Structure 1
Amino acid sequence: MNYRDLLTKADELDRQIAAAREVEAAAALAEIKAKIAEFDFTVEDVFSTKKTRTQRVHSGPTYRDPESGATWSGMGREPGWIKGKDRAAFVVGDQ
């Protein structure tokens, strides 16, 4: 096959691809519409923009170094002043 034959074949394949996509997309859309009707989904149910994961709220420091006044939330790498020690002695407030 030469270049022109390949281009002709490519054009024909593109037409076949577009036709197959149209048929399959119509079937998929019909199935989606049936499921929406079956379960009474709303637009918000299907296209929700709400985040499914809740964000953590920063509640302030959990631990405080009595000598330096430095604080640590308990998240991430522990600071040197609390490393290897009993954390209960450093808890802030009624936690």
Structure 2
Amino acid sequence: MSTYKELLQQREQLNQQIEQARQRENQEAVDKVRAIVAEYGLTPDDVFGRRGKGASTAGTKVAPKYRDKATGATWTGRGKPPKWIEGKNREEYLID
């Protein structure tokens, strides 16, 4: 049976081996990806999709889907429903 100190030493050696294996395998993966990117002439947008300005749809305008015929108020159907439609049959308020 190993002593506590011996086990700690073994753990440290294993941690070093794990880190070395992780770095080696990560580098191999990066090398493969770079080779594929070069072979096919891919761009970052091809690999990761459009990034940066304009990539997000957050804050984009959406056409209203529901209208309160009494007040003319509209709602897109996103987010918390307004009081005039809350708990009611939404089909009655659909915009044609």
TM range (shorter): 0.5 to 0.7
CA positional deviation for 1:31: 0.3
Report whether the alignment pairs 1:83 with 2:85: no
User: Runs of 5+ in structure 1 lacking a partner?
Assistant: none
Residue pairs, 1:3-22, within 5 angstroms? 3-22=4-23
Is the radius of gyration larger for structure 1 or structure 2?
A: 1
SS of 2:42's equivalent?
coil
- Taking only the aligned residue pairs, the percentage that are identical comes to 21
Runs of 4+ in 1 over 2 A off after TM superposition: 42-51, 58-62, 70-74, 82-88
1:64 touches 1:71 (CA, 8 Å); kept in 2?
yes
TM-score normalised per structure 1: 0.60
State the superposition RMSD in angstroms. Answer: 3.2
Mapped to 2, the partners of 1:8 and 1:60 lie a distance apart of 66
TM-score normalised per structure 2: 0.60
User: Runs of 5+ in structure 2 lacking a partner?
Assistant: none
Mapped to 1, the partners of 2:90 and 2:43 lie a distance apart of 54
